[in-house]
Amino acid sequence: GTRFPGADGCTADQVLNLTVTPKPADIVTNQTICSGETYRWNGTDYTTNQTGTRFPGADGCTADQVLNLTVT
C-alpha cells in the first residue's frame, strides 16, 4: 500500500490499499424483427435499424448493454 506519514512524524501512518477492477465486456444483444414490428429494449421501443445503441451500466463499473437491431 501507499503510506502517508503523520504530519508531525508521531501520529499513526495511514495506508491506502487500492484495487482497480477492469470494467466487464459489453453485453451485446443482436435482434432481427420484421418491418412494422416493434422491439422493446431497456424500456424503449425501436422500429428501425439500430447499430451499437448503447445503454451504459448504472454505476460506471458494470457492463454496458449494446443493441444491434436489424429490421427486414
* Digit-coded pLDDT (tens) for 17-58: 888 888 899 999 999 999 999 999 999 999 999 999 998 887
Between 12 and 38, the more confident residue is 38
pTM attached to this predicted model: 0.66
Query: What local confidence, expressed as pLDDT, does residue 17 receive?
Result: 86
- Mean pLDDT, range 8-20, rounded to an integer: 76
Query: What local confidence, expressed as pLDDT, does residue 64 receive?
Result: 92
Neighbouring C-alpha atoms within 13 Å toward the C-beta of 55: 12
Q: Using 50, 70 and 90 to split pLDDT, how confident is the model at 3?
A: low
